[in-house]
Each structure stands twice: as C-alpha cells, then as structure tokens.
Amino acid sequence: VKHLLGIKYLKEQDIQLIFETADHFKEVINRSIKKVPSLRDITIANVFFENSTRTKLSFELAEKRLSADVINFSAAQSSVKKGETLIDTVNNILSMKVDMVVMRHPNPGAGIFLSKHVKASIVNAGDGAHEHPTQALLDSYSIREKLGDVAGKKVVIVGDILHSRVALSNIFALKLQGAHVKVCGPKTLIPKYIESLGVEVETNLIKALNWCDVANMLRIQNERLDISYFPTTREYTQQYGVNKKILDSLDKEIVIMHPGPINRGVEITSDVADSKQSIILNQVENGVAIRMAVLYLLASKIK
C-alpha cells in the first residue's frame, strides 16, 4: 500500500518494519548526520487544515532529513477561505508534481476520502476524532525503547477517549503488538464501542494507575466538545488529574506519557510532566525517526 491512513489498516509485521527502519534513522540522527539522500527525487506537501506544533514540524524535519523537497500548506492562509474544496485544493497542489501529501483535517475519514480521489500517496497526520497513526507508532516505539517490548505491557489511556484520535490509534497499535489496554476517564468521555476493541474500562484513576506499567495521559479535546459534557475542568482535574502525590503513592514506578499539547495543572501537573518517570519529550524526539521511517517505506512504493 502506498498510503498510511490509519493503524487499523496495518498488520503487526508492518509496525515492526517501521520500528526497525526508525531504529536505523534514529542511529543516523544520533551520529549527528543531519541529512540522508533517500528521498532526493520526492516532493512532499504538508497540508494542514487544523493547528499543529509537533506533528507538522516533525514531518517537515523528517522530510528534510530525507532530502525531500517540501511545501507547506496551512488552510487558514489559503484559498480554502475563498470556498475551494478539499479535492480541488489537493489536485492543484498535485499538479505542481507533488508525490506525497501529509494531511491533517478536522473531518474523520478525510484522508481515506482523499486517497480515493487523487493519485498521490496520502499520510494521515490526524483526521478529526478518528486516527493519528504516526502518533500511535511513536508512542509504541517510545514504550519499546523504555521498557524493551510492547507485548505483555499494561497500558492505560487516561482522559477524553471519546474525542481522541490518539486513543483510537494507540488502542489499535497496542493490541496488535500484544499489550494489555485499559481506558480510564469519566463515563461521558468513553465511547460505548470501546470494549468491542478488546479494551477494559476503569473509571477509578488510582486503580487504573496501580494496574498499569504505562499511563498515557490525554487532554480534554475542548475544540471537539459540542455539548456540555460532565465534568467541568475543575471536577475533571480532581478525579482524573495526575499529580506527584498520586504518582508517589502507587505500588510501583510507572512510565508517564502524553502526546501533547499538555494542559499543565488540568490532566497532569508540571512535577509529573517534568519528572524522571515522564518520557514526553522522548516521544517528540522519536516522532522524527518514526516519520522518516514511514515516509521512506511509503516512497519505496511510488518510486
């Protein structure tokens, strides 16, 4: 396949191949080799219809480290504002001889839709509350780096599961690799179908944290809340926020993750986010190697 649209479409061996390729690129980066010529004849457009810091910069850096030609499109400053459709926008970009499109879009399935209507290779950089495949890959890669393996590890994803593309992609990726997965949060922020994915629900934060090896903390997706979900931010923090006191009271030392952006003092306090148990910045670092691996492997299908 020449697209990465979601973890749902991957097999376990695809993930392992991406990790082995990322290992190679991480080693190259660590040797202070800033550029490899792998994608010298490839042009990539980063097409972002939603805000991003980590994903956008990480893809751009990965592309540049692979020597691809890169153009960046941000919907807010584009002719989308004048009424141009998604397909027209992307086809106009592709007519400039672009080979791959990395796209973030607020609508679930936008990448799948686009892949059926344009010729380029499509990489999903987050589609609404649906999937964020490269985030899940870098999350699992970071667990593997920290704990040696993902198989058999107990991972709890805490927070707004209902609106989170990170949660869904992580669940698919972790289950494929043989991890045990629980989700934890207020019932109103946990979708009804979640147990059908082989995931357990735990509404008590302390029980969930005492069970797990890894806690992946998510923020409340305020931009996707279109009705008033219980609880309020203050109630949420009281029941589901992780602070140092909670961390220190647990039976064992767990690994703390967060995809970012963090709302410090809401789902996680600074003394947890910045603690030695946190691998949040390692996740960001690993994002570049993972995205280099994904782009490299997809480009081999279109060359």
The letter for the amino acid at 12 is E
| Residue 54 lies near ligand CP (rule: CB under 6 A) | yes
**Bridge-partner residues for 214, per DSSP?**
155, 255
Which one of 63-71, 77-85, 244-252, 255-263 is the stretch in contact with ligand CP (CB under 6 A)? 255-263
Contacting ligand CP within 271-300 (CB under 6 A):
none
**Which residues fall in the annotated binding site for L-aspartate?**
82, 165, 219
Q: What is the spatial distance between Cα 272 and Cα 54, in angstroms, rounded to a whole number?
A: 20
Q: What is the spatial distance between Cα 129 and Cα 190, in angstroms, rounded to a whole number?
A: 13
Q: What is the spatial distance between Cα 277 and Cα 264, in angstroms, rounded to a whole number?
A: 16
Which one of 81-89, 229-237, 254-262, 288-296 is the stretch in contact with ligand CP (CB under 6 A)? 254-262
**Which residues fall in the annotated binding site?**
54-55, 82, 104, 132, 135, 165, 219, 260-261
| Residue 52 lies near ligand CP (rule: CB under 6 A) | yes
Q: What is the spatial distance between Cα 102 and Cα 134, in angstroms, rounded to a whole number?
A: 11
Q: Which helix (DSSP H) or strand (DSSP E) does residue 289 occupy?
A: helix 280-302
Residue 146's region, left for phi above 0, alpha for psi from -120 to 50, else beta, is: alpha
Q: Which residue is nearest to ligand CP (CB)?
A: 55
- At closest approach, how far in Å is the CB of 260 from ligand CP? 5
**Bridge-partner residues for 17, per DSSP?**
none
- Computed on alpha carbons and rounded to an integer, the radius of gyration of the chain in Å comes to 19
| Residue 124 lies near ligand CP (rule: CB under 6 A) | no
- Of 161 and 180, CB closest to ligand CP: 161
287's CB contacts (< 8 A; 6+ apart) are 54, 55, 58, 134, 135, 138
Contacting ligand CP within 8-27 (CB under 6 A):
none
- Of 185 and 259, CB closest to ligand CP: 259
- At closest approach, how far in Å is the CB of 150 from ligand CP? 19
Residue with the two structure tokens 């698919």: 172
- Of 152 and 261, CB closest to ligand CP: 261
- At closest approach, how far in Å is the CB of 274 from ligand CP? 18
Interface residue with ligand CP among 181, 259, 268, 269 (CB under 6 A) is 259
| Residue 260 lies near ligand CP (rule: CB under 6 A) | yes
- Of 18 and 257, CB closest to ligand CP: 257
The Cα-based distances of 278 to 55, 71, 117 in angstroms read 20, 34, 42
Nearest to 261 by CA among 280, 234, 239, 242: 280
Interface residue with ligand CP among 21, 43, 46, 55 (CB under 6 A) is 55
Residues interacting with ligand CP, by CB under 6 A?
A: 52-55, 126, 135, 259-261
